[in-house]
Amino acid sequence: MRKNIVAGNWKMNKTLQEGVTLAKDLNEALKGKTLNCDVIIGTPFIHLASVAGVVDKNKIGVAAQNCADKVSGAYTGEVSAAMVASTGATYVILGHSERRAYYHETPEILKEKVRLALDNGLTPIFCVGEVLEERESGNHFEVVKGQIRASLFDLSSEDFAKIVLAYEPVWAIGTGKTATADQAQE
């Protein structure tokens, strides 16, 4: 069943102190409110434990912006799904267009990241989306289906139900074009 989610990805912004302050401010803003959606904040790795320690877990979920495709080992700079889970984060963003483009994350890598996230009790927020040329050629449905098939097709129905699919209209990033609600709903 589809549910409403409002997620904010901080990307590579905010110092640790700024991040904790923002999380506390969000707590205050949501205090006493009944929400009709899930609220998730995606913080840089350095913020995860601190932010997870101050948010109201009944109102705000904390997401890592990535995790490694390895369990452990000599992978300088990588952070495993188990490490992410140990911070108190409950979500991890995977398949983001920037990670696919800048770090050449393949479907095989993403498949392994999803598996490790699930194995460690994290909820993957799996990003899918198409670039402008794919949208304009009318091929966008096939592109998105292909991304899902390539990285998530082998999951059991139980595991697939644990995935949050996030549509990311890559074609609307920095182009001056805006995705309409109907386009996102497609």
Catalytically annotated residue among 96, 105, 130, 140: 96
Which phi and psi angles does 68 have, rounded to 5°? -75, 160
Looking up tokens 């549910």, which residue turns up? 3
Catalytically annotated residue among 28, 140, 168, 186: 168
Looking up tokens 């670039």, which residue turns up? 131
96 is catalytic: yes
Contact between 124 and 73 under an 8 Å Cβ cutoff? The reply is no
28 is catalytic: no
Active site residues: 96, 168
